[in-house]
Amino acid sequence: MSGLSRADYLARDAGDPLAGFRGSFRLPADVIYLDGNSLGALPEATPARLAALIEDEWGHDLIRSWNQHGWIELPRRIGDKIARLIGAGPGEVVVADSTSVNLFKLLAAALALNPVRRMILSERENFPTDLYMAEGLAGLLGRGHALQLVAADEVAGALDAETAVLMLTHVNYRSGAMHDMEALTAAAHRAGALALWDLSHSVGAVPVDLGAAGADFAVGCGYKYLNGGPGAPAFLFVAERHQEGFRQPLSGWLGHAEPFAFESGYRPAPGIGRYVAGTPPVLAMAALEAGVDLLLTVDPAALRAKSQALTESFIAAVEALAVGLGLTLATPRDGARRGSQVSFRHTQAWPVMQALIQRGVIGDFRAPDLLRFGFAPLYTRFVDAWNAAEALADILKKRAWDRPEFHRGAKVT
Amino acid sequence: MSGLSRADYLARDAGDPLAGFRGSFRLPADVIYLDGNSLGALPEATPARLAALIEDEWGHDLIRSWNQHGWIELPRRIGDKIARLIGAGPGEVVVADSTSVNLFKLLAAALALNPVRRMILSERENFPTDLYMAEGLAGLLGRGHALQLVAADEVAGALDAETAVLMLTHVNYRSGAMHDMEALTAAAHRAGALALWDLSHSVGAVPVDLGAAGADFAVGCGYKYLNGGPGAPAFLFVAERHQEGFRQPLSGWLGHAEPFAFESGYRPAPGIGRYVAGTPPVLAMAALEAGVDLLLTVDPAALRAKSQALTESFIAAVEALAVGLGLTLATPRDGARRGSQVSFRHTQAWPVMQALIQRGVIGDFRAPDLLRFGFAPLYTRFVDAWNAAEALADILKKRAWDRPEFHRGAKVT
């Protein structure tokens, strides 16, 4: 690892075929932003797009915009665009609600389609909202459904004749470890279970091919690597073969076959349309669409290659510069098993991250001891990886984290 | 009714204490907008507020804005503001999700709090999404819950020992008729039922006092009279006495007692916080807050007085100008029983509304035969009521609606 230098990293930036995309984002000059896995950066195109939407479409054309500007089509139109990023077909993805609410719809579908079984199998370190939504659904149903939680490497072995659905997040939010979607989906199917994937930490950063994997259901987040803005609407995928086998329970008017007939009884829309509930959040959807449109211009293979090179380079720089300073890599060393983030454990992770943030290196902390660094490949540079590693090493060497102000603070990131 | 003139209406505008609020909105010069009950107009303050949020908070401060700019507090902060508009206390209202999704949460709460009973009582002409969500929940529970639908004037008489919850929209979206919330809530309670009110067509236009009425639950829409923008987030109210008696089933991470502890098991937040599910839609919430902030500067009694005067004036002008032209008033003549809209029936309602829209008078159509006109009191003028009535009368007199292009078109409004 020795012999690395900033010059090497600058040289990599000079040779990066995606380097030009950084100019498509507004990034503050004074920070190294390594938290795009929590909140993606602002695309350059978004402010003007939102201003036009607000002033011209809402302000001037008012209610007529539902037709004239295609607001009513937004859930499916953006869904079809996201489908191209995740190996889904047209009409298999729709944008709606939050990831949490979409999980509820699809878990309800999965349990209904596999009615004899009672177990929702997941990973103990899955993102909590996935587990909480499963718990909420099981409690509401009151029919003995339960959540079975195992370690990541025990998932395949835990599939059995009780498993109704395997619910996993493709890339773990803490460790950045990536599951083998194709193998686990196949294992789930062999065991007679359905497979529901949460793509929140995958879409826009790592290759996803739901079709090739034979996945049944998926959800994902709009505000991380899709750069859709804080709290952006989420999306959901239902394989075409399952779409009409079920009425999802959040049966709002815009999932009705004819919303503007205003019938008193619910008739589900054909296909993916029935997975919409209420009125689409137009402002938020327009921001999401701007982020998705930008990603659609990128070669996915180049994106993955840069993501892997960035995380590899960061690990190398940290291990070269911060030898013996108490850091332990928490992310798989094998690039093929890694998403687009790197996490290190450190006993003082919280104050260390505060010290980094004070120096303008923005990663985040995950309890109890994780320093988490996201490498959004569209706008992160190799020199950012170098500079962040250097700042981290310097803080640890000088114990610069050991100041009272770095031990305070709300842990909201 | 005769003897009325445009001059009378202009005189009313000249004496209107709320006339100045029209300048707080951007309205197109070439239209008379009578559809604020479907999509509220754009507040003058909103574009700059969104631009600052997008460029400074998202673009520059990025993830730090969750703390630095209070994004994490938005659901409760805006909820507390809306509480002041509907007679609720601090901590009784939260902004989240859509009206449809919030109905699901609160119906689930109501059924759990009244566990022996099986009937959800509502009005046959309630807004369909309310009925569809109830149907979806009952179907998911599979425990014999059913939706009992009666005519508006039969609701009180239909309450019985089977009624778990009375679910009504305060102001009917078609007729504009307003229920007596206090009397019906009391009747529901006497019958041992809970009362859930949908305030979508009330909040921001007519007085609502959930506290005085003793209401148990309420939901409402952000994009009508609150002027929160297309598809704005919705709100929900849970009376303090009920808040902790129930875990709502859409138990997402931001309704957890400690979201950033990332525990694997769900522990509901205290109070109203548990009624949040996923990550708040920050852009959409900021737009909603701008609309709510404007309403908080208005005297509610003056707002109601103007709303009643506007609808009364419109009815008077139509009845003076369009005598014998086939219109039938579908809205209560008694102003005390009317929301802020006026509907007329006409056998040719669809083409008549298209002809009006072509002349720049924007109301909307509701199947099969309703012409619907909303009078948002903050920005609608008396002369708008006059001009709209005159245009309607002229179209009917000349049969100007009887052109092929007015018979076409998607019925999306």
| A146, β-bridge pairs | A119
CA distances A26 to A22, A43, A104, B55, Å, are 8, 6, 35, 8
Active site residue A372: yes
What's the mean pLDDT when you consider all of chain B?
96
Q: For residue A70, what is the nearest residue in chain B, using CA coordinates?
A: B412
Active site residue A366: no
Residues of A in Cβ contact (< 8 Å) with B174 = 262
DSSP assignment, residue B358?
Answer: H
pLDDT digits (tens, 9 = 90+) for B301-351: 999 999 999 999 999 999 999 999 999 999 999 999 999 999 999 999 999
Query: Which amino acid appears at position A320 of this protein?
Result: A
Residues of A in Cβ contact (< 8 Å) with B30 = none
Residue with tokens 């000059």: A29
Catalytic residue among A314, A372, A373, A375, which? A372
Interface test with A, best of B30, B37, B56, B100 (most A CBs within 10 A): B100
Q: For residue A51, what is the nearest residue in chain B, using CA coordinates?
A: B47
How far is Cα B194 from Cα B351, in angstroms, rounded to an integer?
A: 42
| A270, β-bridge pairs | none
Q: For residue A267, what is the nearest residue in chain B, using CA coordinates?
A: B132
3-class state of residue B89 by DSSP: coil
| Cβ–Cβ gap B33/A283 under 8 Å | no
Domain ranges of chain A: 6-44+299-406, 70-295
Q: Is the pLDDT of residue B412 over 50?
A: no
Residues of A in Cβ contact (< 8 Å) with B54 = 42, 46-47, 50, 229, 287
**Cβ B332 vs Cβ B338: under 8 Å:** yes
What are the phi and psi torsion angles at B235 (to 5°)? -130, 165
Catalytic residue among A21, A104, A127, A275, which? A127
B127, B232, B263: residue with CB nearest A128: B263
Active site amino acids of B: 127, 198, 223-224, 372
Same fold, B6-44+299-406 and B70-295: no
Q: What are the average pLDDT values for consecutive 10-residue runs of chain A, which has 413 residues? A: 84 98 97 98 98 98 96 98 98 98 98 97 97 98 97 98 98 98 98 98 97 98 98 98 95 96 94 97 98 98 98 98 97 97 98 97 95 98 98 98 85 47
Query: Which amino acid appears at position A379 of this protein?
Result: Y
How far is Cα B119 from Cα A46, in angstroms, rounded to an integer?
A: 47
Q: Which two tokens stand for residue B203?
A: 């909040």
pLDDT of residue A412: 46
| Cβ pairs bridging A and B (under 8 Å) | 304
**Cβ A388 vs Cβ A31: under 8 Å:** no
Distance from CA of A113 to the nearest CA of B (A): 13
Q: Which two tokens stand for residue A321?
A: 């510069």
Average pLDDT over residues B402-413: 75
Average pLDDT over residues B113-128: 97
pLDDT digits (tens, 9 = 90+) for B64-112: 999 999 999 999 999 999 999 999 999 999 999 999 999 999 999 999 9
Q: For residue A33, what is the nearest residue in chain B, using CA coordinates?
A: B62
B251, B262, B282: residue with CB nearest A230: B282
What are the phi and psi torsion angles at B139 (to 5°)? -65, -40
How far is Cα A126 from Cα A168, in angstroms, rounded to an integer?
A: 7
| Cβ–Cβ gap B230/A282 under 8 Å | yes
pLDDT of residue B408: 81
Q: Sorting pLDDT into bands at 50, 70 and 90, what band is B277? A: very high
Distance from CA of A345 to the nearest CA of B (A): 16
Residues of B in Cβ contact (< 8 Å) with A256 = 128, 132
Q: Sorting pLDDT into bands at 50, 70 and 90, what band is B1? A: very low
Q: For residue B367, what is the nearest residue in chain A, using CA coordinates?
A: A261
Catalytic residue among A224, A274, A366, A381, which? A224
Q: Which two tokens stand for residue A30?
A: 């004074």
Q: Is the pLDDT of residue B20 over 80?
A: yes
B135, B284, B357: residue with CB nearest A266: B135
pLDDT of residue A413: 44
The CATH number given to A70-295 is: 3.40.640.10
Distance from CA of B366 to the nearest CA of A (A): 8
User: Which string of b and e fits B101-117 if b means at least 16 CB within 10 Å?
Assistant: bbbbbbbbbbbbebeeb
How far is Cα A185 from Cα A212, in angstroms, rounded to an integer?
A: 10
Active site residue A127: yes
Interface predicted TM-score (ipTM) of this complex, two decimals: 0.96
Residue B382 burial class via C-beta count within 10 angstroms: exposed 0-12, middle 13-18, buried 19 and up: buried
| Cβ–Cβ gap A39/B55 under 8 Å | no
Query: Which amino acid appears at position B230 of this protein?
Result: P
Q: For residue B130, what is the nearest residue in chain A, using CA coordinates?
A: A252
Active site residue A153: no
pLDDT of residue A408: 80
| Cβ–Cβ gap A278/B234 under 8 Å | yes
The CATH number given to B6-44+299-406 is: 3.90.1150.10
DSSP A257-308: SSGGG--SS--BPSGGGGG--S---HHHHHHHHHHHHHHTTS-HHHHHHHHH
Residue B222 burial class via C-beta count within 10 angstroms: exposed 0-12, middle 13-18, buried 19 and up: buried
| Cβ–Cβ gap A281/B281 under 8 Å | yes
| Cβ–Cβ gap A266/B33 under 8 Å | no
| Cβ–Cβ gap B250/A101 under 8 Å | yes
| Cβ–Cβ gap B140/A253 under 8 Å | no
